[in-house]
Amino acid sequence: MLTKVFPIKLKPGKQAEVEAIVERFAPQGPVREPGTLSFRVYRDPATVDYLLFVEHFADQAAYEAHTGSSAYQEFIVGQFAEHIVEFVEIDHELLVGL
């Protein structure tokens, strides 16, 4: 399993707009992708203009299919990306799962 974590700093005042993009993207992209095991986006109530993406994929090929999908290109590359100040892509390996 491949785990991707993305802490994302957004442009000031864009939180609500970006959350709406993510809410439209999820059912058209990740939910329909067989290799996407989970797709979770968190907001931090103490930090504005910030989201944390935590995603689990069956393998690297599933992640590549996810990022190559038409929904990803439309919503993430086409709409979401313009509202990002910075992000980091962090790969994780599961140590303990309950």
pLDDT tens for residues 43-94? 999 999 999 999 999 999 999 999 999 999 999 999 999 999 999 999 988 8
At 24 the pLDDT is 95
At 93 the pLDDT is 84
d(CA 44, CA 15): 11
For 6, 18, 37, the CA distances from 55, given in Å and listed in that order, are 9, 17, 8
Q: What is the architecture of the domain spanning 2-92? A: 2-Layer Sandwich (3.30)
Predicted TM-score of the model (pTM): 0.92
Long-range contacts of 62-65 (CB under 8 A, 24+ apart): 62/2, 62/33, 62/34, 62/35, 62/36, 62/37, 63/2, 63/4, 63/35, 65/33, 65/35
Kindly report, residue by residue over 7-51, the tens digit of the pLDDT: 999 999 999 999 999 999 999 999 999 999 999 999 999 999 999
